[in-house]
Amino acid sequence: MSYQHINVPASGQKITVNGDFSLNVPDKPIIPFIEGDGTGRDITPVMIKVVDAAVAKAYGDQRKIQWMEIYAGEKAVKLYGPGNWLPDETVQAVKEHVVSIKGPLTTPIGGGHRSLNVTLRQALDLYVCLRPVRYFKGVPSPVKDPEKTNMVIFRENSEDIYAGIEFDAGSEKAKLLIDFLRTQLGIDNVRFPETSGLGVKPVSKEGTQRLVRKAIQYAIDHNRPNVTLVHKGNIMKFTEGSFRDWGFETALEEFDAQLVDGGPWCKLKNPKTGRDIIVKDVLADAFMQQILLRPAEYSVIATLNLNGDYISDALAAQVGGIGIAPGANLSESIAVFEATHGTAPKYAGKDYVNPGSEILSAEMMLRHIGWAEAADLIIDSMEKTIQSKHVTYDFARLMEGAVQVSCSGFGQAMIENM
């Protein structure tokens, strides 16, 4: 396909997907990237340099990523014109090239355009938001034993309140909906009907099952001891409560799990290791205190979209902050890697913030395409660089004896430590 503003690297080839969803990865794969708004312009070039260095170190001239810039957010509006925050060809390029990476994108609060991040996830049905949370030795943490926090979050990424079905207080549609609720459904407890905004929270059986299936499969593949369904099903019975019920059903029906003490918790035998995997649940509020008090009891987390958003940042803080919190948005075939954090606008363009989250997202990407040697180099040099105490402001302000380095300085130190 020819694009309007995207320059396709002449020497690269596309990654393709087989019928069983495995990937064919050429030695010179074209990987699209979105630079991102705000601090995206600081961290994305650093991520690219570090990844290129790791790939060169691991494979010499044999392999090289052919980066292809695609556009979203403010950069897209400049190129494609007013209102064009997420051009069709950007979405198309992500789809066609199978694996891509993005920097953070701004979402205005209250009014303005809908989240481009959410739009991209929904447009490509990237229904898993995968966010591993692990501790790197030497990182300053607010908790006593940060190494006990080792969790992998499976956040449902396609539904819940993020579906964007919302009606502004006082609008014609809000009035219609309130009227419908009153007259057709007998709802008489909207406290201030004239001035209420309304949101709809769709949670489906299919959406829950496919997410929980991935979480349990991950526990099997990575020899993890438990999967926890985090929900607020006591209050939101038919959305979050059903998420829990459908989650347990998935374990029982698809993974041959057996009830523990009459249920609803259950356990299955990991077919690869013979070890038990417990599938349990916890209410979201209780979970937020347990991750601080008893983090070692939680391994794989499966949760709904909004809970997953909150939990991602809270858990990231326990292991040192969102400066090193990576992630991926996944469908069966398409993968878009991105940091957990946002655009941190007050630091934009200052070469200041920690590029670690985006670098570690790229590390996940390298592993995803089977370039494990390059991924290992990144992990190794991240550990070395942090332990040498050459760190960005976020760690430096909490570390004794740290040498504060810039965003690009941290990337450079990582390259030197490879």
Rounded to a whole number of angstroms, the minimum distance from the CB of residue 42 to ligand NDP is 8
**Least distance (Å) from ligand NDP to the CB of residue 358?**
8
Task: Please identify, using beta-carbon distances, which residue of 306 and 379 lies nearer to ligand AKG.
Answer: 306
User: Which of 90, 107, 122, 239: binder of ligand AKG (CB under 6 A)?
Assistant: 107
Question: 10 Å Cβ neighbour count for 282?
Answer: 19
- Determine if 220 is a binding residue for ligand NDP (CB under 6 A): no
Measured from the CB atom, the residue of 312 and 318 that comes closer to ligand AKG is 312
Question: 162 an active-site residue?
Answer: yes
Burial code of 84-117, b = ≥16 C-beta within 10 A, e = fewer?
A: ebbbebbbebbebbbbbbbbbbbbeeeeeeebbb
Alpha-carbon distance of 339 to 316, in angstroms, equals 11
CA distances from 182 to 53, 167, 177, 189, 190 (A): 62, 16, 9, 9, 9
CB of 41 to ligand AKG, least distance (A): 17
Nearer to ligand AKG, 246 or 287 (CB): 287
The footprint of ligand NDP on residues 324-343 (CB under 6 A) is 338, 341-343
Q: Are strands 99-102 and 30-34 parallel, antiparallel or unpaired?
A: parallel
178: Cβ contacts below 8 Å, ≥ 6 apart: 190, 193, 196, 198
Q: How far apart are CA 376 and CA 55, in angstroms?
A: 10
The arrangement of strands across the sheet holding 151-156 comes to 66-70, 30-34, 99-102, 335-338, 328-330, 128-133, 151-156, 300-303, 226-231, 276-283, 266-269, 258-259
Size of the site for ligand AKG (CB under 6 A): 8
CB of 38 to ligand NDP, least distance (A): 7
Is 59 annotated as catalytic? no
Q: Within 10 A of 129 (CB to CB), how many other CB atoms are there?
A: 26
323 is a contact residue toward ligand NDP (CB under 6 A): yes
366 CB-near residues (< 8 Å, 6+ apart): 51, 54, 55, 372, 374, 375, 378
- Regarding 305 and contact with ligand AKG (CB under 6 A), the answer is no
* 309, 338, 351, 363: which one binds Mg ion (CB under 5 A): 309
Residue 118 interacts, among ligand NDP, Mg ion, ligand AKG, none and using kind-specific CB cut-offs from 5 to 8 Å, with ligand AKG
Whether residue 322 contacts residue 118, with contact meaning beta carbons closer than 8 Å, is answered with no
Q: Smallest gap, in angstroms, from Cβ of residue 155 to ligand AKG? A: 8
Residues 73/58, Cβ–Cβ less than 8 Å: no
If one asks whether residue 118 binds ligand AKG (CB under 6 A), the answer comes out as yes
Distance (Å, whole) CA 328 – CA 179:
41
Running DSSP on this structure, what letter comes out for residue 29?
A: B
Pick 105 or 335: Cβ nearer ligand NDP: 105
Minimum separation from the CB atom of position 357 to Mg ion (A): 12
* Binding residues for ligand NDP restricted to 100-119, rule: CB under 6 A: 104-107, 117
Using the CB atoms, write b or e for 388-399: b if 16+ within 10 Å: ebbbbbbbbeeb
Which one of ligand AKG, ligand NDP, Mg ion, none is in contact with 354 (Cβ closer than 5 to 8 A by kind)?
ligand NDP
Cβ at position 107, least distance to ligand AKG in Å: 3
Q: Is 322 in the site for ligand NDP (CB under 6 A)?
A: yes
CB of 211 to ligand AKG, least distance (A): 15
Pick the catalytic residue from 37, 309, 351, 394: 309
Tokens linked to 2: 């020819």
Residue whose C-alpha is closest to residue 392's, from 356, 344, 342: 356
- Residue of 71, 135, 162, 218 marked active site: 162
Scanning 40-48, 115-123, 237-245, 407-415 for contacts with ligand AKG by CB under 6 A, the matching segment is 115-123
323 binds, among ligand NDP, Mg ion, ligand AKG, none (CB under 5 to 8 A by kind): ligand NDP
HSE toward the beta carbon, residue 312, CA cutoff 13 A: 30
380 is an active site residue? no
List binders of ligand NDP among 232-271 (CB under 6 A). none
**39 makes contact with ligand AKG (CB under 6 A):** no
Residue among 237, 256, 285, 346 flagged as catalytic: 285
Active site residue 245: no
Contacts with ligand AKG by CB under 6 A lie at 107, 115, 117-118, 309, 312, 340, 342
Contacts with ligand NDP by CB under 6 A lie at 39, 43, 104-107, 117, 321-323, 338, 341-345, 353-354, 357, 394
Catalytic positions, written as ranges: 162, 232, 285, 309
